[in-house]
Each structure stands twice: as C-alpha cells, then as structure tokens.
Amino acid sequence: MFEGFSAFMQYIVDMGASVMLPIVIAILSIIVGVKPSKAIRAGLMIGVGFVGLSLIVNLMNSELGPAAQAMSERFGLSLSVVDQGWPGISPVTWKSSIALVAIPLAIIINIIMLVTHLTKVVNVDIWNIWHFTFTGAIVYVVTGNYWFGLLGVAIHAIVAYKLGDIWAPVIKNYFGLDGITIPHGDSAHMAPYAVFVDWVIDRIPGLRNIDINADTLQEKIGVMGEPVVIGFVLGSIIGLLAGYDLAGFLALGINMAAVMVLMPKIVKCIMDGLLPLSEAAKKFMNEKFGGREYYIGLDPAILLGDPQVVTAGLIFIPITLLIAVLIPGNRVLPFGDLATISFFIAIAVGIHKGNLFRTLFSGSLIMAITIWIANQTIPWVTALGVSTASIDAGTTIAALDQGGAPLTYIITQIFTLQNLPALLVIGIPYAACIIMSAYYSKKLSAKIAAKEIEKES
C-alpha cells in the first residue's frame, strides 16, 4: 500500500509543476469551501502562471547559460568541475531509491507538524520535495545506510517547514504576499546569512544609510531606472563581457528586458489563482480552528515577480564567476545555476527591503559559501550520479543548488564526521544565523501586527 502511494505520488510529480500544482490547489480549494468551478479556474490560472515561469526560466537558461560559458572561456577560467544546476541535478535526485519514500514521508511530517502546531506551513509544492530527497539520497549514498537516508529527508523537511514559518513575515512585508511562504530551496536555506549581514550593516555608521534599489534609481535617473531599461543594460553588459558582437549583446539585452517586464505579469497569474484558496482558507480556519493562521508553501520562483530580485540575479552572474575564481582551491565552474542565481538571493532581497547595496554583501557571502560547500560535496554528488546511472564512472560533477547548501552539508557530516573542523566552521555560524533569523522574524511579525491594528483603529 505504501509503495503504491509512493508510485502514485511519483506519477503526479513527473507531470511537472504546471500540471501538479493546479490539481493540488483545485482540490485544496474545494476542501476549504471554494465552488468547484471557481476552484478549477484558480488551478488553471496557477498552471498558466507556472507555464509562463517555465518559459521565462528556460529563456534565461538558454540565453544566459551560453553567455556565462563564453564569459568563463574568454577570461580563461580553468575550473574543472561543472555545476549541473537544478535542471541537471533534480532528475538525478528523483532516480534515487530514496525518492520513492521521500514524498509521502515529507507529507506525513508536514501533517504531524501542523496537527501538533509545530508549523503553520501547508506545503503544496510537492515537486520541490526533491530538495529534501537530495539530502536523503546524499546521506544514503555516502553512508550506505537507507534508514540514515530517510532520517536525512526527515530532518531536512522539519527544518524547511520551520524556515517557512520564519520567512512568512518577510514574504508578506516586502513582497506583499499574505498567507504565502517559501520553505524550499536555496532561497530559504541561505537567507539566514542575509539576516546576519543586515544586522552588521545596521551597526556601521554611513553604510546603514545607503539605500539603492530600482525605485530610487528611477526617481533619480528617470526612465533609465525603469525595470525594462535596467534589464536591457544588464543583459547587454553580460553580453559584452561574454565577447558578443553588436547583434549578440543587443539581443541578450532585449531578452533580459523582456524578463524584467514579463516576470511580474506572470507571477500575477499565480497570485490570482491563489487568491480564492487564500480567502476561503482563512474563513475555514476561523470556523474550524479559531482563526489559526497558516501559510501556503510555494516555490521561490514566485518571488521573481519583484524587479529587485531579477536585477540582483543579473548582477550576480559576473560576480559569482569572480567569486569562483577568488576562492582558494575552488574547482567548481558555476554554470547550470548561473541563470537562476535569483533563487539563491530572493528572500535576502526581501530581508534587505529591496536594498541592492546590502544585497551585494549578503549575496556575495551566500554565493561564496555555496561555492565552497559545493567543492566539498563533489565526491558525494558524483557518487549519487553514478549510483543512479545518471553519469558514467570516472565523470565528476558538482551542484550549487542543494549541493552547496549548508543544511545538506551539515546533515551529511553529522552522519559521517568526515571533516569535523569543516562541520564546526559551517554548522555553528549557520545555527547562529538561524537563531538570529527566528528573532528577526518575531520582531517583524510584531511590527506587522502593530501596523494592522493601527489601520483598523
């Protein structure tokens, strides 16, 4: 029975987010009282939104990927292990035997945590359970113990749902998405470092007063500060750094301008689809559970509707390559995830309230830590690829997304103790940053509540 359920969930996941999420959202909407016709429309709108997101992300990958490769070749970056990116490493993860059990395990843990009031996150993004699965698969392939692998999935899921609780006030306060949170991927896992950076900058006179974002740029330089122009300029600069000719860098500039303009419109489709569920769910929770608050857990892709996030992502393409060169002993060539660097720093942008100046500091720290950890996990990621017959023996691969995540690294090191000093160097500061983040979230929630009371009075 359990295996049958796992196979069914795997079948649903294989449909992809654009098919899976509309089904999940429509069913949840009907359960909480939305009319079937309205629920189906809401699900379809979310499907349309995710198809649009997929088109935009594919555009970014197809345009920025070759530009990043050309840039690295032009500047003679001799980094021998190529980052596979989430498009390359997620299919490898789903091939692991851990994947059959990871999906129902993550769902059961979510339900238990909701019932026991340990989280407010209702995770509907089943596809992104691949992040939990990756951790479990790595633990399994490194230790050879299947039960350790499942425990790795469980620990990752618990921490992710708690991070979803922590980031919900940020998602509401900055991104304006009420009742939504992001428990998944590098965006949620790396954001604690941004809280630390924000705390440090707040204590440095002069620096703490600097605020640079697309809105202030638009006020100061007019049309040149509009998202469409920023996208064109940044895209063109990347094309120039890649050595493109006039037609090439202008085309890249236009494509990135299109991303800046179209992404918010596409994300709006998703939010329109979520609105009926959000409203009905609040009413349902008021009637059944005395108004208990909860958050729908979604993919960080919905945060790309913010121009600051996309702008930061474009800026960090050359910066990430520079960081890769500067880290001593680094062998990883950032490639597969370069086009979607925005996913790594999206919540960080929200923590900094869109301040790109602060995001430069936190983003640089985030990418440096990601690249350093990705170097340490090369043998693990390679072993996973070989064990699932995704790569040939003798081939070496790396992954920034999840392969460079502190959480996966810490969990695996706890089970293996292969490198105790590195575990302490990564683990202790990361735990401290999460504690700081929980305190930050509590203060922000109080501020939001005070503002809402003030509006009502």
pLDDT at 218 (0 to 100): 57
pLDDT at 270 (0 to 100): 74
Q: Cβ of 321: how many Cβ atoms within 10 Å?
A: 22
pLDDT at 155 (0 to 100): 96
Find, among 110, 173, 134, the residue nearest to 449 by Cα: 173
Distance CA 399, CA 452 (A): 42
Angle at 207 between CA 202 and CA 213, to 5 degrees: 95
pLDDT at 447 (0 to 100): 92
pLDDT at 425 (0 to 100): 93
Tens of pLDDT, residues 228-264: 777 788 788 888 888 888 888 888 888 878 877 787 7
| Residue 193 C-alpha from the chain's centroid | 14
- pLDDT mean for each 10 residues of the chain (457 residues): 57 66 79 83 82 75 75 71 78 82 89 92 83 94 94 96 96 90 90 97 92 68 65 82 86 83 75 74 67 82 84 86 87 79 92 94 96 94 87 82 93 91 94 97 92 76
Q: Cβ of 350: how many Cβ atoms within 10 Å?
A: 27
pLDDT at 19 (0 to 100): 74
Q: Cβ of 212: how many Cβ atoms within 10 Å?
A: 16
Percent of all residues in the chain with a pLDDT value above 90, rounded to a whole number? 36
pLDDT at 131 (0 to 100): 92
Residue pair 344/350 in contact (Cβ under 8 Å)? The answer is no
Q: What is the DSSP string of 231-246?
A: HHHHHHHHHHHTT--H
Find, among 129, 125, 102, the residue nearest to 180 by Cα: 125
pLDDT at 17 (0 to 100): 62
Residue pair 82/335 in contact (Cβ under 8 Å)? The answer is yes
Find, among 179, 2, 193, the residue nearest to 107 by Cα: 2
pLDDT at 14 (0 to 100): 66
pLDDT at 10 (0 to 100): 60
Distance CA 143, CA 431 (A): 24
Q: Cβ of 178: how many Cβ atoms within 10 Å?
A: 14
Q: Which two tokens stand for residue 300?
A: 């960080």
pLDDT at 433 (0 to 100): 97
Distance CA 313, CA 346 (A): 8
Q: pTM value?
A: 0.83
- The pair phi, psi for residue 202, each rounded to 5°, is -60, -15
Residue pair 150/105 in contact (Cβ under 8 Å)? The answer is yes
- Beta strands 121-123 and 295-297 are parallel
Beta-bridge mates of residue 180: 296
Q: Cβ of 61: how many Cβ atoms within 10 Å?
A: 18
